Structure 1
Amino acid sequence: MLDSAVAWMNARGNTEQWGTVPYSQTSGGAARIERYTTVNSPYVAELDGVPVGALVLDSGPSPQMPIPAAGEPERYVRLLVSDRRHAGLGIGAALLAHAVDETRRAGIGLLRVDCWAGGGGELVAYYERNGFAPTESFLSGTWPGQVLARRVG
């Protein structure tokens, strides 16, 4: 799914968000996915028994990202991806709604996510449509990022 997401972004002219190399071939990509599925809390959306999306929750942002601490307990969306062949079905929105439910069930009132803020802000707008509000902007090298938050209490 991640490899096809890179190809889809590149076909749309977006080579900055995740680069041009298939995710499975990036340095540390496979190890990151293994951590997501063993250390973090992964959730997979299925359609007729076939995986069509994935979301990974953690207790905070990646330590490699220059993101300020929340100052309170939180759940953090570390990964959200959907199979672009099923675009428009609300898979990402359903996974985000599940993240809200999981955060609430854990008795935590804050759900955050960071995303690429380039490309005219389309991804930031997507998270805003799903109930998140922009908080801090950041730069990771030359990669423009935006942190967004949602209260779930």
Structure 2
Amino acid sequence: MLDSAVAWMNARGNTEQWGTTPYSQTSGGAARVERYTTQNSPYIAELDGAPAGAMVLDSGPSPQMPIAAAGEPERYVRLLVSDRRHAGLGIGAALLARAVEETRRAGVDLLRVDCWAGGGGGLVAFYQRNGFVPTDTFLSGTWPGQVLARRVG
């Protein structure tokens, strides 16, 4: 799914968000996915019994990202991806709704996510349509990022 997301972005001229190398072939890509599935809380959306999207929740942002701690308990969307063959079916939105449910279930009021802020801000707008509010911007190397938050309590 991550490899096809890179190919999909590249086909649309976006080579900055995740680069041009298939995710599975990037340095640390496979190990990161293994950590996501063993050390975090992964969720898989299915369509007709086949994986159609994935989300990973954690208790905070990646330590590798220059993002300040929230200063309160939080849940953090560390990964959200959908199979681009099913674009437009609301898979990402459904996974975010699940993140809201899981955050509430944990008794936590704050759900945050960070994303690529380049390319005209389309990804930031997606999170805003799903109830998130932009908070902080950051730069990871030359990669422009946006942190967004949603109160769920």
* Cα separation, 2, equivalents of 1:68 and 1:144: 15
Structure 1 segments of 4 or more deviating over 6 A? none
1:141 shift after superposition: 0.3
Look up the match of 1:63: 63
Q: Which residue of 2 aligns with 1:48?
A: 48
Shift, 1:24, TM fit: 0.1
What residue ranges of structure 2 are gaps of 5+ in the alignment? none
Q: Which residue of 2 aligns with 1:123?
A: 123
- TM-score when scaled to structure 1? 1.00
Question: Where do 5+ consecutive residues of structure 1 fail to align?
Answer: none
Check if 1:79 corresponds to 2:79: yes
* Pairwise CA distance, 1:65: 0.3
Partner of 2:102: 102
Cα deviation 1:22-60 (Å, max 9, x = unaligned): 000000000000000000000000011100000000000
The alignment status of 1:27 with 2:59, answered yes or no, reads no
Q: What amino acid does structure 1 have at the position aligned with 2:9?
A: M
Q: What amino acid does structure 1 have at the position aligned with 2:123?
A: L
Match of 1:150 in 2: 150
CA distance in 1, matches of 2:136, 2:68: 8
State the shift of 1:109 in Å: 0.2
| Match in the other structure for 1:134 | 134
> Percent identity of the aligned residues?
88
Q: Aligned partners of 1:130, 1:10: CA distance in 2, in Å?
A: 25
Distance 2:143 2:124 in 1: 14
**Counterpart amino acid of residue 18 in structure 2:** W
Equivalent position amino acid for 2:105 in 1: R
Q: How many residues align?
A: 153
* Cα distance per residue 1:81-135 (max 9 Å; x no partner): 0000000100000000000000000000000000000000000000000000000
1:68 CA drift (Å): 0.7
Q: Distance in 2 between matches of 1:130 and 1:81?
A: 15
